Amino acid sequence: MENLCHTLAGVVLARAGLDRTTPLATATLVLASNLPDVDILSVWWGDLAYLEHHRGITHSVLGLALQGPILAGAVVLFDRLARLPRRPGAEPARFGRLLVVALVGLFVHLLLDWTNMYGVRPLLPFAETWSYGDIVFIVDPWLWLVLGGALFVSARQGWLTNVVWGLVFAAMAAAVTLSLGLHPDESGGIVAVAIWAILLVGLLAARARWPDAPAQALSRAALVGVVGYWALLGLAHAAAARELETVHRGQGSTVVAAPTLMRPDRWRGFSVTDTEIRTSQVLLGRGVRDKAVYDRNLDDPRVQAALRTCPGSVALAFNRLLYAEVTRADDAGDAVALRDARFATVPGRPDFATTTVPLDVSGDPAADNRPCPRGVWPW
């Protein structure tokens, strides 16, 4: 998930009661809810390092176990050096309780990321196996509304609070409205956007009519609402997968149903065999519409040579729906583009997770494409 959702989740967890465990619990939860995304720093070492480390060790069980004590210790150090000297007599932050709070925030981050089709590798570095929830789109405005709504309605009254939340909801509304301009397969749709806007107006009315709304009760209700929303999406995902399996029965294919933006009634479908990937749109109760077919070309000797290189091994590990395109080049040789069908039709991101391996005139990888059996490490 994106970091707005992670941050809202962290604050809701705090308001649900964890903020009462120890001073600085809320700050710790917000930091913990975003900390695993520190792997974004790998982009400084290039796209290849980013693919290697995206949803990597910081999103694993071991990574969470290491980040928890580090974060709790850093917050306690800040408390001793900065907060307590300015507030003599204030209750000090407690390491043990901060550690529990940090681990809760880190685990919820991992859980949120697991729900989408990017997936996580929770057993790193012992196993590279990916796990995918496939129920929530990478950006989910419904979650913004549930989590942000609970915080907004119960927030302290005041002009500054209203301005801050006004800017937050304005940014949300702009993002939701702009989604209408995306590719039809990714757009939220006019009806979905209209329902979202009506619910937003309802939140504004609720805050005006309920100035003393209980923050803890609303936050707990929001958490229950998120779990219920996931359950409904899980049922819709199962139905979409069944429709795909019915259409592609007997073709020896593996099917994947992926969520779309704001539309639990519409799913992206992938039917994968050893030789091709068929994409489709699944409209629950209204059938399956075929979209595009991608030849995987994985048996091409040039592709096999590319997969044995360092960039190829990274693509093989990250690209869930891997296929290859061989581009005829000039006298210098060809090039193999290793792509992921998950992103092939995503507006603005068709080349995300695409790794290009140049070949020399003999069809072998160029000299700088050395194998990297131990992985790519930015340091």
Q: pLDDT digit string (tens) for 185-211?
A: 556 678 888 999 999 999 999 998 888
pLDDT digits (tens, 9 = 90+) for 281-338: 999 988 888 888 999 999 999 899 899 888 999 999 999 999 999 887 666 678 899 9
The pLDDT of residue 379 is above 50: no
Query: Side-chain half-sphere of 313: how many Cα atoms within 13 Å?
Result: 13
Give me the amino acid identity at 129.
Answer: T
CB 105, CB 8: distance < 8 Å: no
How many other C-beta atoms can be found within 10 angstroms of the C-beta atom of residue 152?
23
Both tokens of residue 192? 């979905």
Say which DSSP state 72 is in. Answer: H
Record the pTM. 0.91
Judging by beta carbons within 10 Å of its beta carbon (0-12, 13-18, 19+), is residue 156 exposed, middle or buried? exposed
Pick left, alpha or beta for residue 262 (phi over 0 → left; psi -120 to 50 → alpha; otherwise beta).
left
Instruction: Give the rounded distance of the alpha carbon of 67 from its chain centre.
Output: 19
Q: CA 93, CA 344: separation in Å to the nearest integer?
A: 48
> Any bridge partners for residue 258, and if so which?
268
Quote the mean pLDDT of the chain. 89
- Confidence at residue 368, expressed as pLDDT on a 0 to 100 scale: 56
273 touches 309 (CB < 8 A):
no
Q: What is the pLDDT of residue 23?
A: 95
* 40-67 per-position pLDDT tens digit: 998 888 888 888 888 999 999 999 999 9
Q: Coil, strand or helix: which one is 55?
A: coil
**Structure-token pair, residue 143:** 């979650």
